[in-house]
């Protein structure tokens, strides 16, 4: 999981909302990365802000870092977002929506400090998803 990799890069012995956010952007191709990119939020800017807020740990973390309670909450909210949208999978878009809905963790603080309005992030994700659904529907009617 990219969040775990991001936590290791910062020598953190936990996986927080900030690591989930870094992982979503690091992934690069998903709806979450595209939504954030379209809002002018880059991996470098997020990484810089995370390091500014909590900094890297002094030494490498041992073992598999656990999720913080807030990060676990984001995972639960991601599932709810997927179900609410009628999706049978949890994608990067649902994870980002979970981060936005949680609204108080380091990830939300980072996004707002970089000028993102959390409701705008949500709208952008939904807009991108509706674009994908429209293309799939158009493709099905053309081919069918």
> Which of the four pLDDT bands, split at 50, 70 and 90, describes residue 141?
very low
Q: Are 108 and 119 in contact (CB under 8 A)?
A: no
Q: Does domain 2-143 have CATH number 1.10.1780.10?
A: yes
Report pTM: 0.81
Taking all residues of the chain, what is their mean pLDDT, rounded to a whole number? 82
> Which of the four pLDDT bands, split at 50, 70 and 90, describes residue 98?
very high
Q: What pLDDT shows up at residue 7?
A: 84
Residues in CB range of 69: below 8 A, 6 or more apart? none
Domain ranges (residues) in the chain? 2-143
For residue 79, the tally of other CB atoms under 10 A from its CB is 13
pLDDT in tens, 38-92: 888 877 888 888 888 887 676 666 678 889 999 999 999 999 999 998 888 888 8
């Amino acid at each position: 999981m990219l969040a775990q990799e991001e936590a290791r890069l910062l020598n953190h012995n936990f996986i927080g909302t900030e690591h989930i956010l870094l992982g979503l952007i690091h992934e690069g191709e998903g709806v979450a990365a595209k939504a954030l990119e379209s809002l002018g939020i880059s991996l470098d800017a997020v990484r810089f802000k995370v390091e500014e807020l909590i900094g890297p740990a002094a030494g490498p973390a041992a073992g598999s870092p656990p999720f913080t309670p807030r990060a676990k909450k984001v995972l639960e909210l991601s599932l709810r977002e997927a179900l609410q949208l009628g999706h049978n999978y949890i994608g990067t878009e649902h994870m980002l929506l979970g981060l936005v809905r949680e609204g108080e963790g380091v990830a939300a603080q980072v996004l707002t400090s970089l000028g993102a309005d959390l409701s705008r992030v949500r709208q952008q994700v939904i807009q991108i998803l509706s674009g994908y659904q429209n293309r799939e529907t158009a493709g099905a009617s053309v081919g069918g």
